[in-house]
A and B are shown apart, each in its own frame.
Chain A
Amino acid sequence: MTIRALAYWLTVYKRTWRASIWSSFLGPLLYLGAMGFGLGSLVNAHGTAQLGGVTYLQFVGPAILAVQAMQTGIMESTYPVFGSVKWNKTYYAAQATPLTPAGIFRGHLLFNAARITMNSAVYLIVMWAFGAARSPWVILGLPAATLLGLAFAAPTAAWAMTLKSEASFNYLFRFGMIPLMLFSATFFPLSRLPGWLRLVAYATPLWHGVALCRGLSLGTLTAGSAVIHVGYLAILAGIGVWAGGVTYRRRLYV
């Protein structure tokens, strides 16, 4: 069932990928260029002891991998999900067939996972080419980024199905996505933050994703912290998958 629903999204993507290709690949690359090289040259000139002795490009590169995975996960679960029930109503078309609400949900989520993986793979290649990765472990950044993206995509889709209006998405972007991006040890180490804010950051999913990707890219990840980060993200994704099953059914089967 999930595969049948996925097949639909792949067909749609075959038609529409040109429109999204630039934003999904170019955006992160611009970040990497501006932050890693532009801001990086300034930071490096002041010494990088605070960064753990690596260049700013190497510090920020894996964080941007995590950020773009989060962004793709969230974006693909907002308007495309809401539109499928509110605007073009394609979920209702699927629902009239043997597909179940849960199957419709999982098929769409699987497609999102594929988008996250694809974007992350392209980004990883560029990151490697720019010398922003230090360890061959960086290759595991691909499944890590996908898991991170899903940890955002699944709960976001579950929530999107409960909305009556798309206006609420702006709150998610402004008060969810952007603060996470700024304060999750992405562009500067958490040691620069006041203590209480640091504790908040430790609790957020993006921080775990950044720590995971950075640990892999720098080759400094310990097995213990890997388990914690992966576990945290997997639990969040799992809760999202469960919640989506409930909210999709509630919205579609009335």
Chain B
Amino acid sequence: MNDVKEKSALSQPAREEIDKWVAKYPEDKAQSAVIPALHIAQKYNQGSLTDSIIESVADYLGIPKIAAFEVATFYSMYELKPVGRHKMGLCKSISCMLMGADELGDHLQKKLGIKFGETTPDGKVTLKEVECLGACRHAPVVHMHNRYYESLTPEKADELIEGLE
């Protein structure tokens, strides 16, 4: 790997995990690993990225910093601000919208006392709007911790929230 200059904002376990991804690509194509690398970096930083972490990922992969920033700012699953312990993504695309995502959204915001894009003051939940999750047949859908919660109603959503640590 490239020399990691100065203080890298990446922990040793994060680097080891990134190395596994880098190994899957041809030697001079470390850039291909930027998406998983950013996910890993995000995972090791309580679910969000900072400028210095993104720069460290770029340095670690030996790619221009701007190339990492382009990716990190493009995809909505990278968080550029701190997030709560649970990140709920409510789908607002067409099928979910037809099946009541708007109402569900209003309900969730009221219940949590925050707007989309915000985090509850206790740092528990971050609420986001997301695009189609590919689970239209069970709309409306919420995405949380790599799991889909489908055919949600306000009641089911309340249960879901109350069950969160």
Please indicate whether A and B come from the same complex rather than being unrelated chains: no
Binding site for B on A (CB under 8 A): none
